[in-house]
Amino acid sequence: MDTKLFFRALGKFAAGVLLTALLLFLPAGTLQYPNGWLFCALLFFPMLILGVFLLRKSPNLLAKRLDAKETAASQKGVVGISALLFIAGFILAGLDFRFGWSDVPSFVVFSASVLFLAAYGLYAEVMRENAYLSRTVTVQEGQKVIDSGLYGIVRHPMYAATILLFLMIPLILGSWYAFFVFLLYPAVIILRIRHEEAILESGLAGYAEYKSRVKYRLLPFVW
């Protein structure tokens, strides 16, 4: 086992748990926030399992997933906006719980939880299919076009999964107000995709032909 990678991943995981807890429970003004605990369980238990699996079976992919340093100015902006939406949405959800602004039915919370886990499953499948998956927009040495599995249906299944994940978060947290904040996330992803496809088409052999075969980016028959 790569000890350095283990401690790097563990540090990122611990920082994520701490940041999420602070953003949710401080605005809520209490630890007695059931939806907050539900979301943390749905997010971090699968993340831990996936991280351990990647550490053992695909450490190179895990290392790439931990690298989030964008170089292009436009992509830095996209990452920054995404982070702001994430922070604003979590704080608003916590405040919503504190002051009782929203009344999200239990069946909506349950349905969102199921869809969240389904999106997590899609995300894991994308990682299994694409060994070149990275958090930064770049063409890697020796990279090939992946056109099977989910990539045979849409060109960006990872982003489709993350959009579903993001949109379910405020519903799990029981906040309609936060949901409207997270609704901006798909627009941010569309901007990222447009820039990413320009890079892939110019730098990845066969990507232009792949685009002609797989017409849709995120959602079949829509876009």
Q: What is the pLDDT of residues 61-87, one digit of tens each?
A: 777 667 655 555 556 777 788 889 999
> Is 29 part of a structural domain of the chain?
yes
- With respect to residue 223, please indicate whether it lies within any of the assigned structural domains: no
Give the structural domain span for 206. 3-213
Question: Which residues, in sequence order, are CB contacts of 174 under 8 Å at separation 6+?
Answer: 35, 93, 96, 97, 102, 104, 109
Give the number of other Cβ atoms within 10 Å of residue 106's Cβ: 8
Q: Is residue 72 part of a domain?
A: yes
Token pair of 182 as six digits: 């997270």
Which of 15-19, 52-56, 136-140, 145-149 tops mean pLDDT?
15-19
Q: What is the pTM of this model?
A: 0.87
Residue 219 lies in a domain: no
Give the C-alpha distances (Å, rounded to integers) separating 125 from 45, 206, 213.
Answer: 17, 23, 21
Q: How far apart are CA 164 and CA 85, in angstroms?
A: 15
- DSSP label of 31: S
Task: Report if residue 49 sits inside a domain.
Answer: yes
Burial of 35 (0-12, 13-18, 19+ CB in 10 A): buried
**Does residue 39 fall inside a structural domain?**
yes
**Percentage of the chain with pLDDT > 90?**
48
Contacts of 45 (CB under 8 A, 6+ apart): none
| Three-point CA angle 142, 10, 95, nearest 5° | 110
Dump pLDDT digits (tens) for 162-216: 999 999 999 999 999 999 999 999 998 988 888 888 888 887 888 888 888 999 9
Helix (H, G, I), strand (E, B) or coil at 69: coil
First to last CA, the chain: 42
**115-128 residue pLDDT tens:** 999 999 998 888 88
Residues 6+ positions from 153 with CB-CB distance below 8 Å? 214, 216, 220
Q: Where residue 28 falls among pLDDT bands split at 50, 70, 90?
A: very high
- Counted domains in the chain: 1
In-domain check, residue 222: no
Q: Quick one: tokens of 120?
A: 């997590």
Domain of 100, CATH number, reads: 1.20.120.1630
Packed helices 157-172 and 73-99: angle between N→C axes, nearest 10 degrees: 20
User: How does residue 135 score in pLDDT terms, banded at 50, 70 and 90?
Assistant: low
Residue 205 falls within a domain, yes or no? yes
